[in-house]
Amino acid sequence: MRLKTRYPLIVGLVLVFAYFYAQNGIVATSVSFSAIQLALPLALAAMVGVMCERTGIVNIGIEGTMLISAFTAFFLGAIFKDTVLGVLVGIFTGSMMGLLLALMAISWKMDQIIAGVILNILAAGLTSFLYRQNYSIAGTLSPIEIPILSDIPIAGAILSFHGPITYFGIFIVVALWFALYKTSWGLRSRAVGEYPSSADTAGVSVIKLRYINVTIAGGIGGLAGAYLSLEAVGIFERGFTAGKGFTALAIMIFGRWNPLGAFAAALFFGLAQAVTSQLMIDEVVEIPQQFINILPYVLTIVILAISAGKVRPPAAEGIPYEKEKA
Amino acid sequence: MLKRLAAIAAALSLALFGLAACSSDSATSEADCGSENAFCIGLVTDTGKVDDKSFNQSAWEGAQAGATAVGGFAKYIETVDPKDYATNIGQFAENGYNVIIGVGFLMAEAMSTAAAQYPDIKFIGVDQFQGAAVPNLTGLVFPEDKAGFLAGYLAGQITTSGKTGAVLGTDTVPPVRYFGEGFRNGVAYAANELGKDYPETKLVYHAPDNAFNDPAWGGATAKQMLSQGFDVIFGAGGNTGNGALLQIAQTPGAYCIGVDADQWGTLPEAQPCLVTSAMKLIDKGVAALIEAAKDGSIAGGNFFGEVGLAPYHDFDSKIAQEIKDKVAAITPQVLDGSVPTGVKL
C-alpha cells in the first residue's frame, strides 16, 4: 500500500478507536477484538489471492477452497475427536484444491476464471451432497493468553485471547510479506507473475514455481476454512463461507496485491462490520438499520475513492505460460 | 478489470446454480400423482436445505407427518437460487401434485402467481401472510412476536446484569423483526413487573446478504456483546443465530435462547447456555393443513400456527420455581392476546 493510502487509513482507524474509547473502554476494546475475528478469514483468503496472482495465476476459487476445507476439517476433526488433526486436514484439503487449480490452469492451460469456477462448484456440490447432521467436534480451538501482552491495558484486551489460527494467520501474513519482498523466492515469484519469459531466460522454472506457489496458497485457503469451522464457530453448515472468498478478492485489490496492504484492508473491513454492530448495540443514531448495515460497503467505496491511484495487477496474470512461442 | 468483474459475477451465479430433489418412502410413487387415488404433496424449500436444523427441516417433517396421516406421498425440492422458486413450484404442479408447500416469506410472490395459474392445486405458504384471501392459497403464519415476547419475559427474569440482546437475521424478513421486537418488549414487561430499570434490549441485525448463513459474524457479534456485559442473548437467524448461540455456550454464566425449533435437540453444542427456544410449531401446522387439504376443509387466507417456549431441559433445575410459575402464568395470556406484545405487525 502506498503512502497516499496509508495515512488517511491509519488516521481514520485511530480516530474511530479514540471515539469509542472515549465513550466506553470496554466497547472500544471489544469492537477491536471483534474486528480481528471478522478480519482474519478475509485476510487469510486474501493471502491466497495475493500469492496466486503474484505468480500469475488468477484464483477465484478461494470461496470453494475455504468451503471444502472447512468441511473436511470439521468432519474429520469430529470423527476422530481431534481438532488439531482437523486443522491439518483442512490445510491439506486446501492445498489439494490449489494443486487442482494449478493442474487446470498451468498444465492444461485452461481459462483460469473457469478453473476457479470449477473449484467453487465442486466444493459447493460435494459439501452439500456429503453433509450429514449430528456430528460435533470435541470443542473449538481454545483462545490463547499471550503472557506479557495480556497485562498491557488496551492492547492486551484486543490482541490477547485469540485462537491459535488467528496468531498463526497473522504470522503467515508477515512471513508472506517478508518472503515476497526480501527473499530470492519472492523475487522469482514476482518475476514469474510480471514477465515469465525473462524469468525463464534467467533460469527460473516458471511452471514449477507456479505449481508450488498455487499449492501452498491453497493450503492457506484451507487454513482459512479450518478457522471458520474449528475456531470461529465450531460447526459446519453448507455455504456458510457466505461469500468471504469473493470479498477477499476485493480486499486483495484494495491492498494492492501486497500481503500487509491486504491485511490492513481486511482489518478495516472487519472493523467496519464490528462498528456496524456496535452502532446497533448503542443505538447512538436513529437511522434505519438497513442504512447502518451498508456502512462497511460504503466505507470501502469511499476509501477506494480517496486512495484512487494506479492499481495495477501483475502483468502476466491469467495468461498460461508457453515456452518458446513461435 | 471489467473482464474480471464480469467473470466473478458469472462465477457467483454458476456457484449458486444447482438443484436437488428427494422423496420420502411411501407406497405410492410420483408416477401415480394426478390419478384419483393418489395424494401427492410437494415441498419447495427457500434457499435453505431440508436438513437445516430449523425452518425448512421443520416444514419437511410436517409434510412427511401429514403424508403419513392421509396416506399420501411427499417429495421435496431444495431451491438453490431464488430465481428458481417458480420453476420448482411448477415442477410439482405439472406432475399433478395435490398440495404444494412453499417455505419462507421470500417465496410469497411465486406462490401467489402459481396459485392463480393452477386453481385446482392447494397451495400452503409457510410464513406467507395473505393480504387478500385466495381460495386455493393458505398462508401458514405464526405470531412470532408472541414467541419472542415469552422468550424476552423469561430473559428479563433471569438476567442479572440487566443487559439483554438479540443477534438476528435481517429485518427485511418480517418474522425476524417480530421475534426481535417481541423479545425486546417481553424483557421490558418483565423489568416493569420486577420494578427494575433495565436498559432497552439491543437488537443487532445482519446485513440482508447471506443474512441467515453467516455464523462467523453471529459468533463475533455475540462475543462483542458478552464482553460488554450482556448476559442473556437471543439468537434468531438460522445459522447466523446459531453462530451466536455457539459462542455464548463457551462463556460460563451467560444464557442464550434459540429459535424456531427446540434447539436443545437441533443444536446440541449450544446446550451449555440454552435455557429455552422461542418455537414456531411449523411441523404441526403443515401437517394439520395437509389433513385439511385432504378432507377439503382447508380455506384460503391465513392459518395461524402455534408458538411457545421449548422445555428448559437441564436448566429446569437451575431456574427458580417462582420464575417458572410466572412464565407458565403469562404464557396463555400472551398467546390469547390479553397481554399485548406491542409489536407493530
pLDDT digits (tens, 9 = 90+) for A265-306: 999 889 888 988 888 888 765 667 777 777 777 877 777 776
Chain B contact for A289, CB < 8 A?
A: yes
Q: Do A242 and B246 touch (CB under 8 A)?
A: no
Q: State whether the Cα torsion B12-B52-B264-A235 is positive or negative.
A: negative
Q: B270: which residues sit within 8 A by CB, 6+ positions away?
A: B242, B245, B246, B248, B249, B256, B258, B263, B264
Per-residue burial over A241-270, b if 16 or more Cβ lie within 10 Å, else e, is: bbebbbbbbbbbbbbbbbbbbbbbbbbbbb
Percent of chain B at pLDDT exceeding 70: 92
Contacts with B, A 31-90, CB within 8 Å: 31, 33-34, 37-38, 41, 58, 60, 63-64
Full strand arrangement of the beta sheet holding B202-205: B202-205, B164-168, B232-236, B255-260, B274-280, B307-309
Which domains are assigned to chain B?
20-25+33-141+283-304 (3.40.50.2300), 144-279+312-335 (3.40.50.2300)
Strands B40-44 and B99-103, sheet pairing: parallel
Q: Which residue of A has its CA nearest to B224?
A: A30
> How much is the pLDDT for B89?
95
Q: B10 and A232 in contact by Cβ < 8 A?
A: no
How high is the pLDDT of residue A305? 75
Condensed to tens digits (0 to 9), the pLDDT of residues B151-192 reads: 999 999 999 999 999 999 988 889 999 999 999 999 999 999
DSSP 8-state secondary structure symbol assigned to residue A144: B
pLDDT at B18: 41
Give the dihedral of Cα atoms A78, A82, A84, A87; nearest 10 deg: -20
Cell of B77: 425440492
C-alpha cell at B83: 430465481
B257: part of which helix (H) or strand (E)?
Answer: strand B255-260
- Set out the domains of chain A in order of their start, with CATH numbers: 3-131+160-306 (1.10.3470)
Instruction: Say if CB A118 and CB A97 are below 8 A apart.
Output: no
Over residues A11-28, the mean pLDDT reads: 79
d(Cα B161, Cα B268) in Å, to the nearest integer?
Answer: 26
Residue B66's pLDDT is: 94
d(CA A30, CA A37): 11
DSSP character for B208? Answer: S
Q: CA nearest B52: which of B20, B85, B92? A: B20
pTM of this structure:
0.87
Mean pLDDT of chain B: 89
The pair phi, psi for residue A42, each rounded to 5°, is -65, -40
State the average pLDDT over residues A35-49: 96
B8/A249 Cβ within 8 A: yes
* Residue of B213, B229, B269 lying closest to A242 (CB–CB): B213
Mutation for testing the B interface, residue in A58, A154, A229, A235 having most B CBs under 10 Å: A235
pLDDT digits (tens, 9 = 90+) for A73-101: 999 999 999 999 999 999 999 999 999 99
Q: Tell me, what's the pLDDT at A4? A: 59
Rounded Cα distance, B241 and B235, in Å: 4
Mean pLDDT over A232-252 rounds to: 91
Q: Do A38 and B242 touch (CB under 8 A)?
A: no
Residue A162 is classified by DSSP as B
Contacts of B11 in chain A (CB under 8 A): 60, 113, 116-117, 120
Cβ atoms of residues A247 and A67 within 8 Å: no
Q: How confident is residue B22, by pLDDT bands cut at 50, 70 and 90?
A: low
On the question of pLDDT at A2 being above 60, the answer is no
Cell of B95: 406432475
